[in-house]
Amino acid sequence: MTTRTPGYCDLLQEFGFPAVKIKTTDGEVIEYNNLFSRLVDPEAVREPRRWFTDCVRPEIAAADRDRWEIAFSKRTSVQAQVSFGPINGQELDFEMRCFAEPGNGDAIICIFIALTGPILERLFDAHTAKGCDLERKRIRDELHKGISQQILGAAFAWKILAHKIETLNGSLGKEASDLAALLNDAVRDLQNLMRF
């Protein structure tokens, strides 16, 4: 008979993780938390002790199934993707992490970590923002060390060339000097852009 005694599953619920403890012999549910019971369809499988074998095992991703079965039989830790749903019209994907209960080789605890949801979205947004900042810094450094230095060198060369041409032809020298000024303005605009 399945019991609702306080234990690992209740502790994991405090952290927001659905969890279930199962027997290593047959996958019968020994303990679970309320978050886990919401993932399975209690109406379809009325016996809570069968929830894991009837509602979770079939939903383990095909690519992970054999690896999970081997780890289960050997009572070793394993991770597998599990999909539940649709719940409220949306399929929910989880990473299921299983490990032997400390001090009890007859039980395995499975924790379900959502691969979608507000917490993951915040983590994704934070990593995306960090990635964007790193990319901006990389582009800024590349512009400063590469392109702006090349344009500045070209502007300097044009200024020297403009002085040489001016001695031969005043109007061509003026055009070359205007081009050097245009290049200098481009360098200044690029440097201003890199400050943001």
For residues 73 and 174, give the distance between their C-alpha atoms in angstroms, rounded to a whole number: 86
Instruction: Report which of residues 51 and 3 the model is more confident about.
Output: 51
Q: 88-114 b/e with 16+ CB inside 10 Å = b?
A: eeeebbbebbbebbeeeeebbbbbbbb
Domain boundaries, the chain: 8-116, 120-194
Instruction: Report the pLDDT value the prediction gives residue 120, as an integer from 0 to 100.
Output: 57
Instruction: Report the pLDDT value the prediction gives residue 130, as an integer from 0 to 100.
Output: 77
Under DSSP, the state recorded for 194 is H
- Whether residue 2 has pLDDT greater than 60: no
Each residue's pLDDT tens digit, 105-124: 789 999 998 887 665 566 56
122: phi then psi, degrees, rounded to nearest 5: -65, -40
What is the arithmetic mean of pLDDT over 94-108? Answer: 86
Instruction: Report the pLDDT value the prediction gives residue 144, as an integer from 0 to 100.
Output: 76
For residues 81 and 64, give the distance between their C-alpha atoms in angstroms, rounded to a whole number: 7
Under DSSP, the state recorded for 25 is T
Whole-Å CA distances, 45 to 21, 180, 182: 17, 80, 77
Each residue's pLDDT tens digit, 67-87: 989 988 888 899 999 987 765
Place of tokens 């234990």: 7
Instruction: Report the pLDDT value the prediction gives residue 21, as an integer from 0 to 100.
Output: 94
User: By the 8 A CB rule, do 32 and 20 touch?
Assistant: yes
Q: Which amino acid is at 136?
A: R
pLDDT-above-70 percentage for the chain: 85
Each residue's pLDDT tens digit, 143-180: 777 888 888 888 888 888 888 888 888 888 888 888 88
What is the fold of 8-116? Beta-Lactamase (3.30.450)
Average pLDDT, the chain: 82
What is the arithmetic mean of pLDDT over 81-97? Answer: 78
Three state DSSP letters for 115-135: CCCHHHHHHHHHHHHHHHHHH
What is the arithmetic mean of pLDDT over 38-67? Answer: 85
Instruction: Assign 4 a pLDDT band (cuts: 50, 70, 90).
Output: very low
- Whether residue 93 has pLDDT greater than 60: yes
